Amino acid sequence: MTPPLEGIRIVDFSQFLAGPYASLKLLDMGARVIKVENPKAGDLCRHIYLSDTKIHGESTLFHAINRGKESIALDLKSPQGLAAARTLITHADLVIQNFRPGVIDRLGLGYEQVKAIKPDIIYGSISGYGDSGQWADLPGQDLLVQARSGIVWLSGNADQGPVPIGLPIADISAGANLAQGLLGALFRKERTGQGALVETSLLEALIDLQFEFLTTYLNNDEIPPERAQKGSAHGYLPAPYGVFETARGHLALAMTPLDKLVNLLGLQEDPRFASGSNAGFTHRNEIHAILRSAFKTKSAEQWESLLIKHDIWCARILNWKEMLRTEAGKALEMLLPDPENTTTSLRHLRTPIRLDGQRAPSGPDAPELDAHGQAICEEFGISRI
């Protein structure tokens, strides 16, 4: 398989998560990523840990998000380091950065400055909140952006306080959005020769992630959704949509005709189901309570088996260990190396995208700081002295 981005060269000044996630997505499609790092400590992500698990003394996140990339250490505040970075840019198709607004310009590597070096450059930029407005200079940290976006207020049950998403969804969504924009710019450049400035932010990513709910809110007299009292899984959808505790484990129910489920569970006589198709809306919390009692009579696995036979949309809730051991999880072959292979200490996830039936190889592990510095300098005629 010929990778679709083979021959595309990216100079990546970004660090931590959002920017490196974008370059990782393009690397998985064949692009070459040259990661420019601070000579003193490198990417902040090398030393900010997800847990007390470390790989070669560095965070697991750094290794997860920088596999297959090359590292060169440049002091961008020194004339030599800045000159070296500019030389790299003359050989690049894309540049990525995620400094706070104004920082990259002060270093001499903002879009207009880079465009003067290479007019057809495609320049990708991620910020926390955009480059203007009262939040522009605030730290673009995932949890803080979640808090300001409305998504934390939306999650959880009615009697809970705000509940953050347990993943850095702002960073990951913004990185995915930037990768999408960069691909669009590359396609246009192939047709017109024109470069581009591609911009997004963590806040824009989370606003976009809520497009379904926000569109409903904006076109429904700005009436906010109401979280269910327990087992809430969607701010608008009626009962039985939600999560239910069973005799063992939990069960998720999706869009299911309420009358079909009521008949199956023998609950036809309950008057709260008598309001027809609107019962799931008008008596959502009461119906959830009735279903919670009914589902406690069997395990989640038993209910899943029974309900699927009757074409009820449901799924028992799995943890990571359970999910990865399922036949469905194994069939995707997203883990490297194979879970049964213990010849290496490092395990990675492969790209979720398949081209012509194949996934791109994951490439080597994340680089040590400046691991490719000398080779890159020799390749492009750069001097750091």
**Could you count the other beta carbons within 10 Å of the beta carbon of residue 343?**
6
Q: Which two tokens stand for residue 185?
A: 């710019």
Paired strand residues for 97: 125
Please indicate whether residue 221 is annotated as part of the active site.
Answer: no
Q: Which two tokens stand for residue 139?
A: 């730290």
H/E stretch holding 9 reads strand 9-12
Q: Which two tokens stand for residue 111?
A: 């879009």
Q: How far is residue 262 from each of residues 3, 239, 240, 255, 269, measured CA to CA in Å?
A: 52, 11, 10, 14, 9
Q: Is the dihedral of CA 115, 117, 122, 126 positive or negative?
A: negative
Q: Which two tokens stand for residue 172?
A: 């990951």
Instruction: Provide the terminal-to-terminal Cα distance of the chain, rounded to the nearest Å.
Output: 41
Q: Which two tokens stand for residue 94?
A: 């894309």
The values of phi and psi at residue 234, to 5°, are -160, 135
Instruction: Single out the catalytic residue among 12, 43, 93, 171.
Output: 171
Q: Which two tokens stand for residue 158?
A: 């009615």
Task: Return the HEC string of 24-54.
Answer: HHHHCCCCEEEEEECCCCCCHHHCCCCCCCE
SS3 assignment, position 99? coil
Helices (H), the chain: 18-27, 60-65, 79-90, 103-107, 111-117, 142-149, 151-154, 169-192, 202-209, 211-218, 258-265, 279-282, 284-295, 300-309, 320-325, 327-331, 373-380
Residue 109 to residue 125: CA distance in whole angstroms: 12
Question: What are the catalytic residues?
Answer: 171
